[in-house]
Amino acid sequence: MVILFDRFNLPKDIYEVVFATNQQKIVAKELIKYMAKKNAEITKTEMSEFATKLHEGQYECILEEPPYKGKRVKLSYNKRQFYDRILTPMKAMGLVDYDLYKKTYKLTNKFAGALEKIGAMWKDELRRLGVSG
C-alpha cells in the first residue's frame, strides 16, 4: 500500500492518511474499535464474523462522521474487499498483527516504528548524496 500525504495539510484523523476512501476509513475505524473492545485481540473466527456481518449489511454502529454523526447505522462492505483493502494493508503496515499459532489478530504499534525507519532511510539517502537535511 502506498501512503501519499501533504505534510502541510495532514488530517487530524490517522484513518484519512492511511485509507483512500471514506468508506474504507469508516470500516477500518470500526474494526479497530471492535478489536479495542475485545482487549485489542480477536480470534480468526471473530474476524470472520465481523467481515460476514459487514458483508450481509448487519454490522450496527454509531458513526462519528458527518452527516451521520451520532446516528445508529448498519454498515455494508464486501467481505473479499474487506480482506483485500482493509485487513491485508493493515497487517502489512503494522497496524494489526496475526499470530499464526494462536490464530488471533492483535492491534500493534509497529506502524509507528515503520514510519521512523522510513524517516531514517531518507536521512541515510541524503547523507549518501552529501546533502545536509
pLDDT in 10s for each residue of the chain, 133 residues: 778 889 999 999 999 999 999 999 999 999 999 999 999 999 999 999 999 999 999 999 999 888 888 999 999 999 999 999 999 999 999 999 999 999 999 999 999 999 999 999 999 999 999 998 6
Find the helix or strand (DSSP H, E) in which 53 lies: helix 44-55
pTM confidence score: 0.90
- Domain assignment present for residue 108? The answer is yes
What letter would DSSP give residue 85?
I
- Domain assignment present for residue 9? The answer is no
Q: Are 38 and 49 in contact, with CB atoms under 8 Å apart?
A: no
- Domain assignment present for residue 4? The answer is no
Nearest Cα residue to 57 out of 38, 32, 82: 82
Nearest Cα residue to 54 out of 91, 93, 86, 22: 86
Q: How far, CA to CA in Å, does 117 sit from each of 39, 43, 112, 123? A: 28, 30, 9, 10
- Which CATH number belongs to the domain containing residue 27 in this structure? 1.10.10
Domain count across the chain: 1
Residue 100 structural domain: 14-128
- Domain assignment present for residue 2? The answer is no
- Domain assignment present for residue 3? The answer is no
